[in-house]
Structure formats: C-alpha cells, structure tokens
Chains A and B, each alone.
Chain A
C-alpha cells in the first residue's frame, strides 16, 4: 500500500463546474501537507499548503483532517487552464516530500 493514496481519475468536468479531489495518507507522523500541480511533461509546482484550519486561495480550497488522515482540494468555477495533474504531498519533517500518484483533471469547454 502506498503511503499517499489518490484516485488517479481522470476527472472530466465542464467549464464552471466544481470538482473535489481526495487523498489519504497512512503515516500518522506526517506533519506538513501540500497540493502540487503538474502540467503535462512539466515539473511539479506548489499550488498550496494545507492546514488543519483549512485554507482558501481564490477558487481553490484545501482541507486537512488529521484524525482521518485525509486531505482534500476543492476547485470552484473550473477553467480550461485548470487542466493538469494534482499531486497530494506529505512531509514528515525529514525534508523529503512523499507524493501521491496524482489525480488528472480535464476541464472541457
């Protein structure tokens, strides 16, 4: 079993839709949590950090549930440019990032 699990999708949604991605992690020692975005054949880029209190950045909202070891990302009013792979990432404060498989989003016109 992988330490970080994500549904690989693909999620195919129309423009303007709201879409949610979920992720679970198995190591309770995980301390920091992130969502990274990766475009096709490009490097991963930090989308947002995830905090227990929940955090929002424009159309993006991230939530962390430590008790359930569950992380989510909500994208509202999807744009064509949101099409990418979204990587759920945890860090046990050892420096290295542990990535999920990634969830592919395709926003259609």
Chain B
C-alpha cells in the first residue's frame, strides 16, 4: 500500500499522559499536513510542513502540542499532558506540488483516534 499511513490507529490514554503519533506520507510527497477532527465536525488544520520546515501552525496548536518532520519524510505529533478535550481523530495528509499551494491534492491517512480518559 503506497498511501499515507498513520500509527497507531487507536490510542487510549489517561489525562495527563503524553502521547505521540506518527505519519508516513506518500513517498516523495514533500508537503505534509496535520488536521484534527471531532465528532460531527469537519477536519481543522493544525500544522503544515514543506520538507522538514514547519511553515504554518494553527492557533489550535497549544504549547502542549509539537510536531516534527526531522528528515523531511515521516512526521510525529506529540501531545503533552493530555486533556479530555484532546480526544479526537488526528488526520495526516500529504501532497506533491503541482503549482500553487492551493491546487495540489491532499491525500489523507486513516487517522489516529485518541481517547483521553
């Protein structure tokens, strides 16, 4: 399967614990995005990388959240001191530039479903 992969698919944790998610984009896609989706809502943008550079971060990304893409390939999203409000589906997407940033198609991974007890 050459699509976007995410691990783990499900994570249950207790409030206050740290969690880390991994995203492997489609090979040679240089753009990688993280989104968060809660029940009944559309995905919300969190952050975006072009190669290893983090180019934009949403206000949703509090100090407890950090994302990295150290070698411009896979990315990790860490949440420290998790809160119940962090429970959501965390989606990763990747794209390859076809021109302007607005026109390339973003392909989504299956997501990591986080439940904070």
Contacts and interface: CB of A to CB of B under 8 A. Distances in A.
Asked whether A and B interact, the reply is yes
Contacts, number: 61
A32 interface: yes
Given A32-B103, A94-B56, A99 B48 contact: no
A97 to B, nearest CB: 6
Interface stretch (B14-22, B37-45, B70-78, B80-88): B37-45
Nearest to A91: B102
Contacts of A94: 56, 101-102
A31 interface: yes
Interface string A72-109: 00000000000000010101111111111110000000
Size bracket of the A interface: 20 to 34
Interface of A: 4, 8, 31-32, 42-46, 87, 89, 91-102
A89 B35 CA distance: 13
B109 interface: yes
A91 B23 CA distance: 22
Contact of A95 (B31, B91, B108, B110): B31
Given A43-B111, A94-B56, A102 B42 contact: yes
A13 to B, nearest CB: 20
B2 interface: no
A19 B45 CA distance: 29
A93 B100 contact: yes
B97 to A, nearest CB: 10
Contacts of B102: 31-32, 91-95
